[in-house]
Amino acid sequence: MGLKIYLDGAFVDEEEAKVSVFDHGVLYGDGIFEGIRAYNGRVFKLNEHVDRLFNGSRAIMLEPPVSKEEMKEIVLETLRRNSLKDAYIRLVVTRGKGDLGLDPDKCPKPTLFCIAAGIQMYPEELYENGLEVVTVPTRRNTPETVNPQMKSLNYLNSIMAKLEAKLAGVEEAIMINNEGYVAEATGDNIFIIRKGRLVTPPAFLGILEGVTRNTVMELAEKRNIPVEEKVFTRYDVYSADECFLTGTAAEVIPVTKVDGRTIGSGKPGEITRTLIQDYKELTKSTGTEIFL
Ligand code: PMP
């Protein structure tokens, strides 16, 4: 049986879940989205994801067609309709149907949809041995272009980097900004660890302020591991003791090779392994109840 998709106020079969070719989400990537996880009957960090969706919408002057509370209920109801306790949820609001011009004012009604489906994670082996990544030629968009702080439907910047990673024979890229500072991966944030301190780029540099990133920072602080939001370069990654990526889908994943350089011992480090466990525990024990 196919999935039940929420689309503009109704639940429809996945074959029926279609948007117009005149939707500016399709024509121009004009919209905002979220990726959310449910674990064991609870939605993890639902408020944070919905807040980020609304913040991004505000930045592009797109008013979601429902309130935050209604949006959360849509997520929960989509999970119920699909009897999903563990899922990856995609929540999308687009500018809606307009004409062939760019003008958002010609799009009277935003499109809203929510998909809840199974999860595709990296293979377990990578969590034990670490991921190999490369830096790529495509630079991260700067904040004064399409600010990566908005999770906009325009993901070509990340897709270019993903293509370049795959051409280099690996699955993920680290993106550098125009000034040579490390920004983030194509769909994940980056952390390095040096002398027992966690370092991650500040959001103003032009990165998505990941919900997982912020959660991991809190988990580290709980363990009295110092955390700094600081700019750093490729050199700092190559010479780090440990490195990992964070994201809703990937959770916390160790990185053990960057541009052919072995990071630390070449195995996931102590602090990374601790944070992987702490994150797992938290996803198991917290979240908004779905009431299936
Ligand atoms: N950076 C980018 C570019 C992303 O698309 C994502 C989400 N997939 C992240 C970072 C991680 O954010 P979160 O932890 O909220 O999933």
131, 260: one domain = yes
Contact between 43 and 71 under an 8 Å Cβ cutoff? The reply is no
Q: What is the pLDDT of residues 136-174, one digit of tens each?
A: 999 999 999 999 999 999 999 999 999 999 999 999 999
Q: Is 62 helix (H, G, I), strand (E, B) or coil?
A: coil
Owning domain of residue 13: 4-117
Task: Specify the number of domains making up the chain.
Answer: 2
Q: Which of 72, 87, 117 is the last residue of a domain?
A: 117
CB 88 within 8 A of CB 37: yes
| β-bridge partners, 135 | 174
157 Cα: distance to centroid of ligand 1 (angstroms): 13
| Pocket probe mutation, ligand 1, options 154, 245, 248, max atoms within 8 Å of Cβ | 248
Ligand 1 neighbours by CB, cut-off 6 Å = 35, 158, 184, 187-189, 208, 210-213, 246-248
Paired strand residues for 185: 174
Task: Specify burial of residue 163 (Cβ count, 10 A radius: 0-12, 13-18, 19+).
Answer: middle
**Which atom of ligand 1 lies nearest, measured to the CA of 148?**
3
**Atom of ligand 1 lying closest to residue 45 CA:** 15
- Chunked into runs of 10 residues, the chain (292 residues) has average pLDDT values of 94 98 98 98 98 98 98 98 97 98 98 94 94 98 97 98 98 98 98 98 98 98 98 98 98 98 98 98 97 92
d(CA 251, CA 20): 34
CATH number, domain containing residue 65: 3.30.470.10
* Residue 22 and residue 130 in one domain: no
Specify if 106 maps to a domain: yes
Indicate the helix (H) or strand (E) that contains 92: strand 87-94
The minimum-distance atom of ligand 1 relative to the CA of 52 is 15
Do residues 279 and 252 make contact, with C-beta atoms less than 8 angstroms apart? Answer: yes
